[in-house]
Amino acid sequence: MKLKKFRGYIFSRSFLGERVPQHIQNIVIREYCEKNNLHYLLSSTEYVIENSHLMLEQTLNELDNIKGIVAYSLFQLPQKKSERLRIYKKILSKKKELHFSVENLELKRKNDIEKIEDIWSVRQLLSETSRISQLIKNK
């Protein structure tokens, strides 16, 4: 059976208050790929620059040569919803896949977007609730 080739995608900076060493991100992606019979290609590593997704864009431009991308986490995508939706559309229009190893999620069809965005909404709500709680506590 021919394995589908997937490029890993990791961060060299924190995301949503999380910081995970690059080698750990790669281990998690590699194990996810093994479990799901995906051929793991070395990861693209995002720049340290805040809100940069240049390496993700470069990897998206590589989609004609690979089956998809396996990101360490869903929360490494841009925080701006319109940017995430643009990425989802690009993946789906090329009939490719986007996987998130930590959350054990995948984007293969349009219906998957709603589930992914629901998780984003919950995470953003939790972050906002925590921020408000801290403000109240500090008064």
- Contact criterion met (CB below 8 Å) for 107 and 77: no
Q: Residue 138 — very low, low, confident or very high, per pLDDT cuts 50/70/90? A: confident
Residues of the chain with pLDDT > 70: what percent? 93
pLDDT tens digits, 8-57: 999 988 877 778 999 999 999 999 999 999 999 999 989 888 888 999 99
Neighbouring-strand partners of residue 10: 45
- Contact criterion met (CB below 8 Å) for 63 and 49: no
Q: Which domains does the chain have, with CATH numbers?
A: 4-137 (3.40.50.1390)
**What would you measure as the largest C-alpha separation in the chain, in angstroms?**
62
Does residue 81 have a pLDDT over 90?
A: yes
Of 49-53, 65-69, 94-98, give the lowest mean pLDDT range. Answer: 49-53
Distances (CA, A) of 79 to 16, 46, 70: 9, 15, 18
